[in-house]
């Protein structure tokens, strides 16, 4: 003991490789030690065992290679480990050092036979995460009061041994798709004819020679059942979709296809009809990308009709929401007058319709009536008019309708009934109005009105100017941030028309800007909209404000509600924009939406 103490004292003043110097608390064991801390004892190397390096471990004396007495190589010789402080954490380190995935147990008392020579390690203290045994704390190399009857051992888990070994993937199927495509193109060895036919044989029938085996790979494909029974079959395809049949069939070989705005509808139809599920799902997922590419609106409208026809609710909603958001452009387009009564009805009933104001929508409906001549049944006119939120039209404008609207003159009784429901909203208090209501009538809630006074536009140019003038000087503009103010009445009826309030809108263009204001925005884009003037807290009035994002190519691609005055927005086309704006150049329309709350 004393000589070891002295040796340790000497070593304290010696230079050690830094990895050997570690601070350790000494475990309380049944043996007492005269010093605290763990100090490696540097021994002089005497000879070298072939290949082994200081710190290497091996298992000796077990029946299998995954168990045995633990031996450690140091200073040219193998030695053992004393079982004082030996536990599962220590065993884990040994097993992982030997490339086993873990330890089953720590074994003590010389279970695997007594070793000979040095007892290198004693009072081991591992956390279990060390990469090798000598990285754990211990008294010092060769510092031990044990005998070989206390040699430690381990049983390692070998079931999934070689866990740390890399698996190198070999994938020679990379060009399989291409090869199958060549098989389709060449038709070599084909054994099954598909006759494509359209109504009235227009265009003329066309025959494709295919491979039975390839087509049978997709068990859902509706034509599969006939593959065995016959040598040919007939596929009925609308004439409009005939140009895409070949690429549809080729897809069945390669599982790859290029889809465009022109082909998406037909491919989706064929995939649905012949139950090629993956293509059906994938083409439906493309709708949000493709819809904005057609500014004539004829594709979104026919896709919606297709969704109705096939009962595909996701497709219906994707299309209808796009039409509702882009309602102003739709109304401006020539497609507007061609809308079916059903589509118009579905559109007008939505609260997410975005228009400058409600009279704009009423005008649009009237122009639709005019365009459809005298054919609209009064019951249809009544049903459509019923969707107009007359209370969202100012009393002045309502009053003027009877002199300015031709359709009013024609359907006076229908209009009068609806208009009478609109007036009370403007002249009665909410307390009075709600006496006969269980919940607030949807007709008393605004849609998304981008016109004056409720909408406030911040253009893409304004934003890029702001960014340019502030990027180089972080403590100038960025610190103050992008901020604008505008004014609206406190509520949208005649009683409030001169009770004004001021709103502040702030946009944060980076996660840092958000953080500076105390918000966490992962996408790096957020906006705040809050009343900046003192406002009287009018009972029963709340605000359900929205931000509308307009892509610089001209369509509305994202709409989101403020929650607690803040909204976290998707910053670019890869991150959750409803109809992605690929230019990543857009303007904002902030819309104040006052509402009665029960």
Ligand X SMILES: *[C@@H]1O[C@H](CO)[C@@H](O)[C@H](O)[C@H]1NC(C)=O
The residues that touch ligand X, with contacts defined as CB under 6 A, are 172, 174-175, 193, 230-232, 328-329, 332, 373-374, 523-524, 571-572, 574-575
Sign of CA dihedral 217, 220, 221, 225: positive
Q: How far is the CB of 243 from ligand X (least distance, A)?
A: 23
Q: How far is the CB of 572 from ligand X (least distance, A)?
A: 4
Q: Which is nearer to ligand X, 182 or 597 (by Cβ)?
A: 182
Q: Which is nearer to ligand X, 222 or 473 (by Cβ)?
A: 222
Q: Which is nearer to ligand X, 99 or 232 (by Cβ)?
A: 232
Q: How far is the CB of 433 from ligand X (least distance, A)?
A: 34
Q: What's the 3-state SS for 262-325?
A: CCHHHHHHHHHHCCCHHHHHHHHHHHHHHHHHCCCCHHHHHHHHHHHHHCCHHHHHHHHHHHHH
Q: How far is the CB of 193 from ligand X (least distance, A)?
A: 5
Q: Which is nearer to ligand X, 163 or 222 (by Cβ)?
A: 222
Q: How far is the CB of 253 from ligand X (least distance, A)?
A: 16
How many Å apart are CA 455 and CA 593, to the nearest integer? 9
Q: Which is nearer to ligand X, 230 or 536 (by Cβ)?
A: 230
How many Å apart are CA 64 and CA 450, to the nearest integer? 78
Q: Which is nearer to ligand X, 218 or 328 (by Cβ)?
A: 328
* Beta-bridge partner residues of 173: none
Q: Are 92 and 103 contacting, i.e. CB atoms less than 8 angstroms apart?
A: yes
Q: How far is the CB of 523 from ligand X (least distance, A)?
A: 5
Q: Which is nearer to ligand X, 73 or 456 (by Cβ)?
A: 456
Q: How far is the CB of 409 from ligand X (least distance, A)?
A: 12
274-309 b/e (C-beta count within 10 Å ≥ 16 → b): bebeebbebbbeebbebbbebbebebbbebbbbbbe
Residue whose C-alpha is closest to residue 546's, from 564, 562, 529: 562
Q: How far is the CB of 520 from ligand X (least distance, A)?
A: 13
Q: Which is nearer to ligand X, 497 or 587 (by Cβ)?
A: 587
Element spanning 370, H or E: helix 358-371
* Beta-bridge partner residues of 126: none
Q: Which is nearer to ligand X, 132 or 584 (by Cβ)?
A: 584
The sheet that has 192-197: what strands, in order across it?
Answer: 206-210, 192-197, 232-236
Q: How far is the CB of 586 from ligand X (least distance, A)?
A: 13
DSSP state letter for 349:
T
Q: How far is the CB of 595 from ligand X (least distance, A)?
A: 25
Q: Are 495 and 429 contacting, i.e. CB atoms less than 8 angstroms apart?
A: yes
Q: Which is nearer to ligand X, 33 or 208 (by Cβ)?
A: 208
Q: How far is the CB of 219 from ligand X (least distance, A)?
A: 22
How many Å apart are CA 262 and CA 294, to the nearest integer? 9
Q: How far is the CB of 510 from ligand X (least distance, A)?
A: 10
φ, ψ of residue 167 in degrees (nearest 5): -105, 125
Q: Are 150 and 109 contacting, i.e. CB atoms less than 8 angstroms apart?
A: yes
- Lookup: tokens for 251: 């897809």
Q: Which is nearer to ligand X, 380 or 497 (by Cβ)?
A: 380
484-520 b/e (C-beta count within 10 Å ≥ 16 → b): eebebbbbbbebbeeeebebebbbbbebebbeeeeee
Q: How far is the CB of 195 from ligand X (least distance, A)?
A: 6
φ, ψ of residue 64 in degrees (nearest 5): -120, 160
Q: Which is nearer to ligand X, 19 or 406 (by Cβ)?
A: 406
Q: Tokens 């006759």 label which residue?
A: 195
Q: Which is nearer to ligand X, 530 or 582 (by Cβ)?
A: 582
Residue 238 burial (CB count, 10 A)? 12
Q: Tokens 């005939």 label which residue?
A: 242
Q: What's the 3-state SS for 50-72?
A: CCCCCCCEEEEECCCCCEEEEEE
């Amino acid at each position: 003991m004393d000589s070891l103490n002295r040796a340790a004292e000497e070593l304290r003043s010696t230079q050690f490789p830094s990895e050997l110097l570690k601070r350790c608390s000494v475990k309380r064991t049944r043996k007492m030690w005269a010093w605290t801390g763990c100090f490696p004892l540097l021994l002089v190397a005497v000879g070298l065992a072939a290949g082994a390096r200081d710190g290497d471990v091996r298992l000796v004396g077990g029946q299998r290679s995954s168990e045995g007495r633990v031996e450690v190589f140091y200073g040219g010789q193998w030695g053992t480990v004393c079982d004082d402080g030996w536990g599962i954490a220590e065993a884990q380190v040994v097993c992982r050092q030997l490339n086993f995935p873990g330890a089953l147990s720590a074994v003590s008392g010389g279970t695997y036979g007594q070793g000979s020579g040095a007892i290198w390690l004693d009072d081991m203290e591992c956390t279990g995460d060390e990469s090798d045994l000598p990285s754990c704390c211990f008294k010092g190399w060769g510092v031990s009061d044990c005998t070989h009857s206390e040699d430690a051992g381990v049983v390692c888990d070998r079931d999934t041994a070689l866990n740390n070994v890399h698996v190198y993937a070999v994938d020679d199927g990379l060009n399989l798709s291409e090869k199958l495509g060549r098989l389709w193109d060449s038709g070599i060895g084909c054994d099954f004819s598909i006759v494509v036919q359209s109504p009235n044989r227009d265009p003329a029938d066309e025959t494709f020679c295919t491979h039975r085996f390839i087509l049978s790979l997709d068990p859902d494909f509706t034509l599969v059942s006939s593959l065995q029974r016959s040598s040919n079959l007939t596929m009925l395809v609308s004439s409009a979709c005939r140009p895409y049949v070949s690429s549809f069939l080729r897809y069945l070989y390669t599982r790859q296809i290029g889809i465009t705005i022109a082909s998406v509808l037909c491919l989706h139809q064929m995939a649905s009809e012949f139950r090629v599920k993956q293509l059906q799902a994938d083409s439906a997922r493309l709708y949000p990308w493709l819809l904005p590419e057609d500014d004539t609106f004829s594709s979104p409208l026919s896709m919606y009709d297709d969704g109705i026809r096939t009962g595909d609710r996701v497709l219906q909603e994707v299309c209808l929401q796009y039409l509702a958001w882009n309602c102003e452009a739709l109304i401006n387009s020539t497609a507007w007058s061609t809308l079916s009564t059903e589509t118009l009805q579905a559109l007008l009933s939505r609260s997410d319709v975005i228009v400058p104001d409600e009279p704009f929508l009423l005008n649009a409906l009237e122009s639709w009536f005019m365009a459809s001549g005298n054919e609209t049944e009064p019951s249809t006119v009544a049903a459509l008019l019923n969707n107009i939120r007359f209370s969202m039209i100012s009393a002045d404008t309502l009053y003027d309708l009877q002199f300015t609207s031709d359709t009013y003159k024609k359907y006076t009784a229908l209009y009068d009934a609806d208009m009478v429901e609109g007036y009370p909203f403007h002249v009665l208090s909410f307390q009075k109005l709600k006496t006969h209501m269980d919940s607030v009538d949807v007709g008393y809630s605004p849609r998304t009105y981008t016109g004056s006074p409720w909408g406030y536009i911040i253009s893409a140019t304004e934003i890029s100017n702001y960014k340019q003038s502030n990027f180089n000087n972080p403590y100038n503009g960025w610190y103050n941030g992008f901020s604008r103010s505008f004014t609206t009445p406190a509520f949208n009826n005649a009683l409030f028309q001169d009770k004004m309030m001021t709103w502040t809108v702030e946009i944060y263009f980076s996660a840092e800007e958000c953080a500076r204001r105390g918000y966490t925005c992962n996408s790096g884009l957020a906006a705040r909209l809050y009343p900046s003037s003192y406002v009287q807290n009018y009972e029963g009035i709340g605000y359900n404000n929205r931000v509308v994002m307009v892509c610089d190519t001209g369509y509305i691609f994202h709409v989101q509600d403020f929650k607690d005055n803040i909204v976290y927005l998707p910053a670019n086309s890869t991150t959750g924009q409803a109809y992605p704006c690929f230019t990543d150049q857009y303007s904002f329309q902030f819309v104040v939406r006052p509402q009665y709350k029960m």
